[in-house]
Amino acid sequence: MTSSTTDNNTSMTVSWKPWTALFYILFKCSTGVSQQFQLEPLNSTVLQGSDVRFNATVEGDWRVMTWDVGDFQVLTFTVNGTILRSSPRFSAGFCSAGDKTCVEFIIHSVTRKETGPVECTVQGEYGSKTAQLNVQEGGTVHITGGDVTVVQDQLVEFQCVSAAWFPTPTVTWMQNDQAVDSSLYNTSSMADADFFNATSVLKLQAVRNATVECRATVPALTNPQSSSVFMVVVSQQFQLEPLNSTVLQGSDVRFNATVEGDWRVMTWDVGDFQVLTFTVNGTILRSSPRFSAGFCSAGDKTCVEFIIHSVTRKETGPVECTVQGEYGSKTAQLNVQEGGTVHITGGDVTVVQDQLVEFQCVSAAWFPTPTVTWMQNDQAVDSSLYNTSSMADADFFNATSVLKLQAVRNATVECRATVPALTNPQSSSVFMVVVSQQFQLEPLNSTVLQGSDVRFNATVEGDWRVMTWDVGDFQVLTFTVNGTILRSSPRFSAGFCSAGDKTCVEFIIHSVTRKETGPVECTVQGEYGSKTAQLNVQEGGTVHITGGDVTVVQDQLVEFQCVSAAWFPTPTVTWMQNDQAVDSSLYNTSSMADADFFNATSVLKLQAVRNATVECRATVPALTNPQSSSVFMVVVPKPPDWTVLIAVVVSFGGLALLVLLILGIIFCYKRKKEKESSYQDEMRRARTQSQISDASAAGQRHGQVNAGYVVEGHTSVAPSELTDSSVCQANGPSNYEMPDILNSNQGGNGYNSAYNTMDESGYRKHRHVTIVKITGIEEPKLVTKNDQQMSPREKTKDLPVNLLAVGVVKGKMVYELPPGMSYTTFHPPQNTSQITQVWTYA
């Protein structure tokens, strides 16, 4: 049974091999590179200090594998299991013994410095794979203030501080192991050196006793870190005011406790320490000199005032008042802040009118971070004109604010810093002297190609002595009014724009490079100030349409690819057809950075109509004329399509055949009518002659001409056709009997027979039938359709309708055949009620 299964599996494997090979070839053709090894996981997020593992699975024969962490190669591993180069913090080995297709790479005690790409490269055609390593760090979580006792329905505020996390932790709150609605708390974060600190404030309505928990986590943590406190809720029996107090360090802060009812002892806690005990008699049992208490007014024991003298930032936090008994406790929040220094660097300035002046204000040793604002001539400056950043420094915060102001007129510029505890902000001011614009720098923006010379002109109005030129961060040339260049590099030169004109100085950078991209500053010593121009150095690359000239069929959709290589910045690519611009919707351009350059690929899809020159143009702003590449497209006509012509010919041919068919039918019908008419005339003349002949030989016959015979199409008989012996009664019966002519004496090739019958009135009626016989054909037979007695020859022919009715035989209508015609059967007229008997002849 096992052998059979193995054979079946083997046969299935063999049968799939051609398909596998085909898919491999197709994949190679479509992508150009086969996927020869896998790296897993491609994304790994771990905590600092843990070990992180990556597995490389290689298909095929490989020799050497290298591992890079960030920008450094940290380990080389061979197929023999040898580690050629490695640090003790990095190791590698096969995933399982004997299986050389899977290599496990381990970073031990990973640090945040390893955050970034981890690249595995297999030498040969295997290429490389890159995974992303994200190292995170969990910090501490703490709910400030500890357990609290609050009054029922009081709005209680909890603060959770998560310190030294990376990245910013996600903070959530729990109450009695139930998630708290996120709308009840607010979380803010702040960078602190290489870490992030998060502060979350929860405002909760005190309903019943509860455990309040703060949880912080990052994706790398399996279980969040947490801190919890217990909230005791008591009935509302006294008030504490204010519940929030913000003061400056060194000042005195006061809290009032109003108690309703009979109380004995009251305690006051600042932070985690009990600092004072006060009795209803006004006695202070325990206290520090910095804390005092007393009745708010003499004789009123319901209100007690608690004072903290010369408060310090160490007292920042909860201030709790507890009344012994069932009164419970109340907690207020004390926030002690500290004001630092404010200073505008650089002092007073003299600037040129319309110059953009930058002022920097440094606020040092503040707690918390100060709010910085600017004033110009006692008017608030728009906040969009300055930017403020802050940084923690030990227990303080330093703030730096930069103001960029357009110099219009003389002004006092003031920087103000404050915290909520300050009644009046601290400030620093400087005076800005604005002088008229005394020199110009042109051009202010210059875009040139690398290797060319770029020129700047400085026009100075008035008396000047020394001019300096800076390119980027370096001073490259000093020029005096005497035309002397004091310091310069051979690539920089300066001179007067024209001989004898010292008001215009031309500064030249020879063979400019992309390193010079940036500001070019001209400074005239004295009160002239400085001017800055912007230099932008670009570089043109190559343009090439792949594939060369093409020959295509008319109306074919042709694709052209244009490659622009080694440009800076990204070139603008356009297409021309016979010197006419091609619609931009017909082509698509993509670009990619390659080291310090950009490569662009543009694909044009064009309908081939006629021969054309197709041109690809690439340019950057610094280029006067774009660079281009062109090919010639030869369009050959496509094979003619005869479909429409064939359809037209067939349509007209069919119509012509239909017309001819209709005309043929009409013609045949007319000929038939003419023959019938000629036959009836002949029969009429033969009958007339027969009657005349019978009249002359009356003595030899006993019958008369059948006066009751009526030719088809005639409604009456002409009087000339009647004889004396024939009688026709208009009102008589319409059917007349004739004797059975088949039983009568017949001889020769033709018979003329007459029969006389007598009706009730005594008149004799005559009926005449002419029967024609053709020599060589059997005697005519009277056949009946009902009895199916007709011969095969008789059954296959039809009798025309337009025959002459010559009489009745045994109650059956008898029709006469035209001479020379051969018919066997006849379908009776529609007005007969029975099958008609006919004579048939060949």
What would the mean pLDDT of 305-316 be, rounded to a whole number?
93
Task: Label residue 817 by pLDDT band (50, 70, 90).
Answer: low
Both 313 and 268 in one domain: the answer is: yes
Domain assignment present for residue 491? The answer is: yes
Instruction: Specify the pLDDT at position 818.
Output: 57
Domain assignment present for residue 109? The answer is: yes
Number of domains in the chain: 6
Instruction: Specify the pLDDT at position 742.
Output: 41
Contact 507, 443 (CB under 8 A): no
Q: What is the CA radius of gyration of the chain?
A: 61
What would the mean pLDDT of 529-555 be, rounded to a whole number?
92
* 120-141 pLDDT tens trace: 999 888 899 999 999 999 999 9
Higher local confidence (pLDDT), 181 or 747: 181
Q: Which range among 184-188, 589-593, 687-691 shows the weakest confidence by mean pLDDT? A: 687-691
Both 452 and 508 in one domain: the answer is: yes
Contact 706, 766 (CB under 8 A): yes
What would the mean pLDDT of 285-297 be, rounded to a whole number?
88
Contact 516, 535 (CB under 8 A): yes
Q: List 607's β-bridge partners, or say none.
A: 557
Can you tell me the distance from the alpha carbon of 407 to that of 400, in angstroms, rounded to the nearest whole number?
A: 22
Domain assignment present for residue 699? The answer is: no
Asked if the model's pLDDT at residue 750 lies above 60, the reply is no
Please provide the DSSP assignment of 750-816 as one string.
Answer: EEEEEEEEE-TTS-EEEEEEEEE--TTSPPP-EE-TTTT---HHHHT----S--EEEEEETTEEEEE
Q: What is the mean pLDDT of the chain?
A: 81
State the CATH number of the domain containing residue 46.
2.60.40.10
Both 419 and 444 in one domain: the answer is: no
Q: Which range among 168-177, 344-353, 686-695, 817-826 shows the weakest confidence by mean pLDDT? A: 817-826
490 cis-preceded (ω within 30 degrees of 0): no
Q: Which range among 212-216, 505-509, 775-779 shows the weakest confidence by mean pLDDT? A: 775-779
Domain assignment present for residue 144? The answer is: yes
Q: What is the 3-state secondary structure (H, E, C) of 229-277?
A: EEEEEECCCEEEECCEEEEECCCCEEEEEEECCCCCEEEEEECCEEEEE
Share of the chain above pLDDT 90, in %: 57
* 229-246 pLDDT tens trace: 999 887 657 889 999 999
Contact 368, 394 (CB under 8 A): no
Both 322 and 394 in one domain: the answer is: no
Can you tell me the distance from the alpha carbon of 489 to that of 481, in angstroms, rounded to the nearest whole number?
A: 19
Instruction: Specify the pLDDT at position 678.
Output: 74
Domain assignment present for residue 600? The answer is: yes
Domain boundary among 609, 636, 663: 636
Which domain covers residue 59, as residue numbers? 36-136
Both 350 and 391 in one domain: the answer is: yes
Domain boundary among 594, 613, 636: 636
Q: Is 12 helix (H, G, I), strand (E, B) or coil?
A: helix
Both 384 and 472 in one domain: the answer is: no
- Both tokens of 21, joined, read 């090979």
Can you tell me the distance from the alpha carbon of 159 to that of 181, in angstroms, rounded to the nearest whole number?
A: 16
Both 282 and 314 in one domain: the answer is: yes
Instruction: Specify the pLDDT at position 805.
Output: 54
Both 362 and 329 in one domain: the answer is: no
Both 512 and 582 in one domain: the answer is: no
Domain assignment present for residue 546? The answer is: yes
Both 42 and 57 in one domain: the answer is: yes
* 596-623 pLDDT tens trace: 899 999 999 999 999 999 999 999 998 9
Domain assignment present for residue 188? The answer is: yes
Task: Label residue 433 by pLDDT band (50, 70, 90).
Answer: confident
Q: List 186's β-bridge partners, or say none.
A: 201
Domain assignment present for residue 609? The answer is: yes
What would the mean pLDDT of 444-467 be, rounded to a whole number?
91
